[in-house]
Amino acid sequence: MTSLSESRRAVVVGTGLIGGSIGLALRKQGWHVTGRDLDPQRADRALALGALDAIGDDPSAAVTFVCTPVSSIAGEARAALTGGGVVTDVGGVKGPIVAAVDHPRFVGGHPMAGSEQEGMDGADPDLFEGATWVLTPTVATDAAAYTLVRSIVTSLGADVVALAPERHDELVATVSHVPHLAAATLMALAADGATEQGPMLRLAAGGFRDMTRIAAGHPGIWPDICAENRDAIVEALDRLVAALFAMRDLVVLGDRPGLLAALERARAARVNLPARVAHDAELVEIRVPVPDRPGVLAEITTLLGELDVNIEDLEIAHSVEGERGVLVLVVQEAAAEGTRAALVSRGFHPALRPLS
Amino acid sequence: MTSLSESRRAVVVGTGLIGGSIGLALRKQGWHVTGRDLDPQRADRALALGALDAIGDDPSAAVTFVCTPVSSIAGEARAALTGGGVVTDVGGVKGPIVAAVDHPRFVGGHPMAGSEQEGMDGADPDLFEGATWVLTPTVATDAAAYTLVRSIVTSLGADVVALAPERHDELVATVSHVPHLAAATLMALAADGATEQGPMLRLAAGGFRDMTRIAAGHPGIWPDICAENRDAIVEALDRLVAALFAMRDLVVLGDRPGLLAALERARAARVNLPARVAHDAELVEIRVPVPDRPGVLAEITTLLGELDVNIEDLEIAHSVEGERGVLVLVVQEAAAEGTRAALVSRGFHPALRPLS
């Protein structure tokens, strides 16, 4: 595992809402943050609002956050990797970016946080408090690079979920990209009607307003996202259309029990939709002896990501040069047995210890 | 035009969220409100919370609001019409109900207001303040019955839009019923994924939460609505699916300008989605001599409804028995010329006078 700089110096490339919020949050934690933006005025604004200590690059940075539009992330990340630090990004699509960068010191990332406000003026150091932040380590990812990014992101208040890049892309197609396209479609249909037919939009009550709120966002990021995540989006759109046809059948047939069951299922799921994660549970430490081979960290963290086990803390301990290390995971008590079983099924030998 | 009771006595049948709110609002305006509910405990609760003066019916009521589930509205309305008062309802579907009741003293209605809270405990006398309230007069509707319901609903703070019943049903299929089914479908798809695939729902950020919020409502009302408004819902679902296919094509083809244009159009429409109506504009009075024949009021009010002209006030003046009357409309200045032109095109002779 690489020895990385322990300097608390970071670079933020792209000082929009997310980049600006990262700058503010890092500086609050005592980091020295340098940054830049394609638009110099935006970088000036980030400096003025306290998201940056200085404008420009920083060759001695321990970490670079690439917060540019999706289509320029890979290029910026490769450029940043010519330095010795770790590089991560915040793009909404991960598979193509991770494949294009393909470097042990690059850790793909995607914070699931946003704001109605756009740009640096919407930036908020607490934006990530309690938010889910996906990281996408692969077999090529350096364990020390991953743990550094993970610890920084966790220090910003986020809950890390580790997923394979392609898995992330499938999931966000379903819970973000296709819902966005559907909201825009519903809004456009109502507006179409409204052109000829005055009262349409006056009949739109609160539910319609909620459903179409995301369609009010600037569309600039979407052509990139749709291009980079095309296959997963098309697949999720097809599932949506098939499900709408099934709903149509229930309506046409007047199948009241079927309709009620479908809506009741959706209701139960929505009521149980997790809000931001609570942190008051009992914790358990799981120590897993691991071979010091590439990919073992990615294998374990993405396994727990798939199980929806939140890793409260993570550390690589007692690494014996070239031989074995011990991966120390901290998880909530309720998840401990499931985690142990999953690790055992993959051939690991975990040991559990309650933290109290 | 019928001579109607001028007593300020009302009956509310069905004391849920809407019926309870109507009771509270009417009592605030000095009305005596009697009411009942299929569930006696709900009526007791309405009495205890001040939405009713007494439980039961009231043969001397000037108006009855039928606020029961859609499937029982027509029966309750017909029963209430055996008295001499005017009857209106608040059902989410209008065509089948208006056709089934078919009575000059019945005026179909639908307030576009709701609350996250359900039942009497969510009731609020200000629920209708600034909300759109659709009324659906037909050629058979008695003008005095319509103006009475209109003036009461307006006194509760609502903005009345008059529409033909079938037109209402088409519009709500697009802005309410199909969006609800789509929200439930999106939620169910994400939950399906989540059963096998843990992290799905943790990746659902604010946009997804907004979009699926209405799916958390109790599904009990939907089988009725889908049955009563089946044709309009199926037609709107088909338009949604066709539009999603068009969106899919843009994604598959990587048509960036097309995608951007579609999303930009939706964005502009969403940004312009009217919030509750403002009332600080200059007003204009339009006096329209009208023949005293059935349907003329419905013709004019639904014409203005289609033009999305809000009727700020409405009165029938100088009615000469059996001959002609004068319909007095008050509209915002910006809408006055369009209103005049539309009336002239239908053969009326309106006269305009600014109110200042």
Which residues of A fall within a CB distance of 8 Å from B236?
A: 189
Nearest residue on chain B to A163, alpha-carbon basis: B199
Cβ distance A305 to B199 less than 8 Å, yes or no, reads: yes
Least confident of A10-24, B64-78, B188-202, B292-306: B188-202
Exposure letters A339-353 (e unless 16+ CB within 10 A, then b): bbebbeeeebebeee
Cβ distance A181 to B208 less than 8 Å, yes or no, reads: no
| CATH code of residue B296 | 3.30.2130.10
| CATH code of residue B243 | 1.10.3660.10
* Predicted pLDDT of residue A274: 66
| Mean pLDDT over the full length of chain B | 87
A259 lies in a domain?
yes
Considering the domain architecture, whether residues A13 and A155 belong to the same structural domain is answered as yes
Considering the domain architecture, whether residues A19 and A146 belong to the same structural domain is answered as yes
Reported as a single tens digit per residue, the pLDDT across A225-251 is 999 999 999 999 999 999 999 999 999
* Residue B239: Cβ within 10 Å count: 17
B1 lies in a domain?
no
| CATH code of residue A57 | 3.40.50.720
More confident residue, A279 or B269: B269
Considering the domain architecture, whether residues A242 and A189 belong to the same structural domain is answered as yes
A50 lies in a domain?
yes
Considering the domain architecture, whether residues B109 and B223 belong to the same structural domain is answered as no
Among A135, A163, A191, identify where a domain stops.
A163
Residue B3 in this model has a pLDDT that exceeds 60: no
The model's confidence at residue A320, banded by pLDDT at 50, 70 and 90, is: very low
Considering the domain architecture, whether residues A121 and A235 belong to the same structural domain is answered as no
Considering the domain architecture, whether residues A301 and A157 belong to the same structural domain is answered as no
Considering the domain architecture, whether residues A85 and A194 belong to the same structural domain is answered as no
Closest CA to A239 of B197, B191, B213, B223: B191
Which residues of A fall within a CB distance of 8 Å from B190?
A: 174-175, 269
B288 backbone dihedrals φ, ψ, rounded to 5°: -125, 110
Q: Which of A38-47, A338-347, B305-314 has the highest mean pLDDT?
A: A38-47
Gap between the Cα atoms of A34 and A30, Å rounded: 13
Among B249, B271, B293, identify where a domain stops.
B271
| Secondary structure, 3-state, B291-307 | ECCCCHHHHHHHHHHHC
B212 vs A: CB within 8 A: yes
Residue B326 in this model has a pLDDT that exceeds 60: yes
* Predicted pLDDT of residue A325: 73
| Mean pLDDT over the full length of chain A | 87
Interface of A with B in 248-277 (CB under 8 A): 248, 250-252, 254, 256, 259-260, 262-267, 269-271, 273-274, 277
Q: At B142, which amino acid appears?
A: D
Considering the domain architecture, whether residues A240 and A198 belong to the same structural domain is answered as yes
B2 lies in a domain?
no
* Predicted pLDDT of residue B119: 84
Nearest residue on chain B to A229, alpha-carbon basis: B251
How many A-B residue pairs are in contact by the CB < 8 A criterion? 328
A2 lies in a domain?
no
Residue B1 in this model has a pLDDT that exceeds 50: no
Considering the domain architecture, whether residues A114 and A144 belong to the same structural domain is answered as yes
Cβ distance B270 to A220 less than 8 Å, yes or no, reads: no
Residue B19 in this model has a pLDDT that exceeds 80: yes
B203 lies in a domain?
yes
Q: Which of A273-287, B96-110, B153-167 has the highest mean pLDDT?
A: B96-110
The model's confidence at residue B154, banded by pLDDT at 50, 70 and 90, is: very high
* Predicted pLDDT of residue A98: 97
Reported as a single tens digit per residue, the pLDDT across A162-189 is 999 999 999 999 999 999 999 999 999 9
Cβ distance B186 to A191 less than 8 Å, yes or no, reads: no
A4 lies in a domain?
no
Residue A318 in this model has a pLDDT that exceeds 80: no
Considering the domain architecture, whether residues B17 and B91 belong to the same structural domain is answered as yes
Closest CA to B76 of B95, B60, B89, B85: B89
Which residues of B fall within a CB distance of 8 Å from A161?
A: 199, 202-203
ipTM > 0.90 (yes/no): no
Which residues of B fall within a CB distance of 8 Å from A96?
A: none
A310 lies in a domain?
yes
Which residues of A fall within a CB distance of 8 Å from B213?
A: 207, 210-211, 270
Strand order across the B159-162 sheet: B54-55, B32-36, B9-13, B63-66, B86-89, B106-111, B132-136, B159-162
Considering the domain architecture, whether residues B138 and B215 belong to the same structural domain is answered as no
Q: Is B133 helix (H, G, I), strand (E, B) or coil?
A: strand
* Predicted pLDDT of residue B285: 84
Per the structure, the count of domains in chain A is 3
Cα angle vertex A264, ends A263, A270, to 5°?
Answer: 90
Please tell me the distance in Å from B57's CA to the nearest CA on chain A. Answer: 32
Among B109, B138, B163, identify where a domain stops.
B163
Q: Give the residue numbers spanning the domain of B45.
A: 9-163
B122 vs A: CB within 8 A: no
State pTM to two decimals: 0.77
Considering the domain architecture, whether residues B246 and B337 belong to the same structural domain is answered as no
The model's confidence at residue A299, banded by pLDDT at 50, 70 and 90, is: confident
Cross-chain CB nearest to A259 (options B222, B267, B274) = B222
Which residues of A fall within a CB distance of 8 Å from B209?
A: 273
* Predicted pLDDT of residue B277: 47
* Predicted pLDDT of residue B116: 58
Residue B257 in this model has a pLDDT that exceeds 80: yes
A131 vs B: CB within 8 A: yes
